[in-house]
Structure formats: C-alpha cells, structure tokens
C-alpha cells in the first residue's frame, strides 16, 4: 500500500524508479522599463563623475594650498608679536625684579641728627633723606668768612706798606747820593791835610749805612711785591691771598650744605638704613642703600624671599 502512495506522488512524465528534487527556478524575470531607465541614468552619472570629478577636486586643493601659504607669514608675525609682548602681562608668585642700586652717603663727617625716611618709603627727586648736625659746619663757615675779612685787611695793609717802602727807597737813594758826595769831599781834604782822619772815617761810615739801608728797603719792597703777586696795582679781589680765603669760605659753605642729603634720582626707595640718629657718619661709609624703580629684567627664584638687590614684584 505504501508503494501505491509513493507512485502517486510522481507525475506521469517522470521515469519510474527515480526520485528528483524540485529546484527553484533561477532564471531572472525580465526587468521593467522604469528599472532599466533608472539603471541607465545611474550608470551615466557614475561615468560622468569618473570623467570630470578629479580635476575640480585638484583645483580646489591647489587654491587651499595657496591661501595657506599666503596666511603663513601673517600667522608667524602675529605669533611673534604676542610672544614678545606677552611678557608684559606675565605673572609669578616668586619673581624678582632687578633694579639699579645706589649707595647714598655724603663726603663730610658728622653726627646723624635726623633721618627723614624709613625703609621702603618711596621718595622723589629733592626729598630730604637725612641730616647731619650742622653746628660744627656753621662755626667753620663763620671762621672762614672771618678769614676772608682778615685776608682783605692784610692785603690792603700790604699794598699801603708797599707804597710806603717805595717812598723810603726814594729817600734812601737821596741819602746815598749825599753821603757819597760828602765822602768824596772828606777824602779830598784828607789828601791835602785839610781834614782829619776822624772826619774821613765818619763820612765813610755814613755812606755805608745809607747804602745798606737802601738795600734793605729794596728787599722789603720785593717781599711785599711777592705777597701782592708782583702786581701791587691789582685790586685785592684779584690777588691770590684773597682768592684762597674765599675758596676756604666756599668749601665751608659746601660742607654745610652737604649736611642735608637729598634724593637725586627720579624715583627711588630705601632698602636699608645703616645709620640712625646719633650715630657718627664718616665718608666713604654709605648711610643707606637705595634702589631706583627702573626694571632691568626678572627671573624666578623662589629661594630668595628678600634681597637688598631686588624686591618682589608682580608684572
């Protein structure tokens, strides 16, 4: 019975005794007209893109490269500018600004009377820094002014003495002439025995005294002329003795002025004061160290919290 059912499954065209499996039909169905048109259009677009696509892309790349090469110098210039000027706004918690140091002192010795500034106090040009006791310098100035008056009086007296000596020299010359004539007469009388030997000796002695007196007066005149710079006709103010006294007075006045020390730089600040009121200041020992607010450079140094050569700064 089973054999009858199996035979019934096969079609009459199949050979008996062979079993064949049915395979699906792989033959594609014919495409429609719309699908064929779409396929043709896609193929044409692909062919067109393959023919014309690379050339415009290469042109665009060339343009981009030209623009980049043109902008490169500008970018470098802008970068350099910000690199150079960027230091002005640099900040650091441990930076130190180098400054110029100026040792402040005076060329006169004295006792410090008062100090007008304290450490790190800003000062400007002309401000008083410290003062020495001016009393010894005032006394020296008064003494020098007195010496100027004395020098003037001495030179005036010397000029008068010079004129007086000149008068005495004229008189001494007349005396020498008189005693020469008297000596010659006594010598002639003695030869004729009309004069004694004593008269002759006296006339000779008088002549010698007159000659010595004239020589002494000439020496005094030369000494007076030397003290008057060999120009006795010059006014006193032009003579060296008076100029020396005036120079001494000016030096005393200068030293008095230097007892008050002022700031000479534009802007500065004291970093340390080595002298206090009552201490003795002797040159060339500096009274203080000062730094001017002129930035010379900076560097990082966290191990130097304080230094007389630099100060903390934020830039």
Instruction: Summarize pLDDT for 122-168 with one digit per residue, the tens.
Output: 878 888 888 999 999 999 999 999 999 999 999 999 999 999 999 99
Which pLDDT value is given to residue 282? 66
User: Kind and range of the H or E element at 5?
Assistant: helix 2-9
Q: 10 Å Cβ neighbour count for 179?
A: 19
What's residue 183's pLDDT?
95
Q: Where are the domains of the chain?
A: 90-133+267-315, 134-258
pLDDT at 153 (0 to 100): 96
Please list the ranges in the chain whose pLDDT falls under 70: 1-38, 41-59, 86-103, 265-315
CB-CB contact of 249 with 67 (8 Å) = no
The CA distance from 152 to 138, in Å, is 21
Residue 112: predicted pLDDT? 87
* Fold assignment, 134-258: Helix Hairpins (1.10.287)
18 is written with which tokens? 């062979």
Alpha-carbon gap, residue 139 to 271, rounded angstroms: 34
Give the end-to-end CA distance of the chain in Å, rounded to a whole number. Answer: 113
Give the pairing of strands 110-115 and 128-132.
Answer: antiparallel
pLDDT at 146: 96
């Amino acid at each position: 019975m089973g054999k009858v059912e199996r035979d019934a499954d096969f079609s009459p065209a199949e050979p008996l005794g062979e079993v064949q499996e049915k395979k699906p039909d792989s033959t594609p169905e014919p495409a429609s007209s719309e699908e064929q048109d779409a396929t043709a259009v896609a193929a044409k677009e692909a062919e067109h893109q393959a023919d014309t696509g690379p050339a415009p892309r290469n042109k665009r790349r060339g343009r981009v490269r030209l623009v980049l090469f043109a902008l490169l110098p500008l970018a470098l210039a802008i970068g350099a500018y910000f690199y150079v000027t960027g230091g002005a706004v640099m900040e650091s918690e441990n930076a130190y600004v180098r400054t110029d140091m100026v040792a402040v002192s005076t060329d006169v010795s004295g006792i410090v009377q008062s100090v007008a500034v304290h450490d790190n106090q800003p000062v400007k040009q002309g401000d008083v820094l410290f003062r020495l006791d001016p009393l010894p310098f005032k006394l020296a100035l008064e003494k020098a002014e007195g010496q100027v008056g004395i020098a003037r009086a001495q030179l005036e007296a010397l000029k008068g003495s010079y004129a007086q000596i000149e008068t005495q020299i004229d008189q001494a010359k007349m005396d020498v002439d008189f005693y020469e004539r008297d000596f010659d007469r006594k010598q002639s009388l003695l030869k004729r025995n009309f004069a004694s030997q004593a008269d002759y000796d006296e006339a000779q002695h008088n002549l010698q005294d007159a000659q010595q007196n004239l020589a002494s007066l000439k020496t005094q005149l030369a000494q007076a002329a030397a003290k008057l710079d060999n120009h006795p006709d010059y006014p006193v103010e032009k003579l060296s003795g008076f100029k020396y006294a005036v120079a001494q007075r000016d030096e005393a006045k200068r030293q008095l002025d230097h007892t008050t020390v002022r700031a000479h730089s534009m802007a500065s600040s004291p970093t340390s004061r080595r002298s206090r009121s009552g201490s003795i200041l002797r040159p060339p020992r500096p009274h203080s160290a000062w730094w001017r607010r002129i930035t010379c450079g900076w560097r990082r140094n966290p191990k130097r919290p304080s230094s007389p050569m630099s100060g903390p700064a934020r830039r």
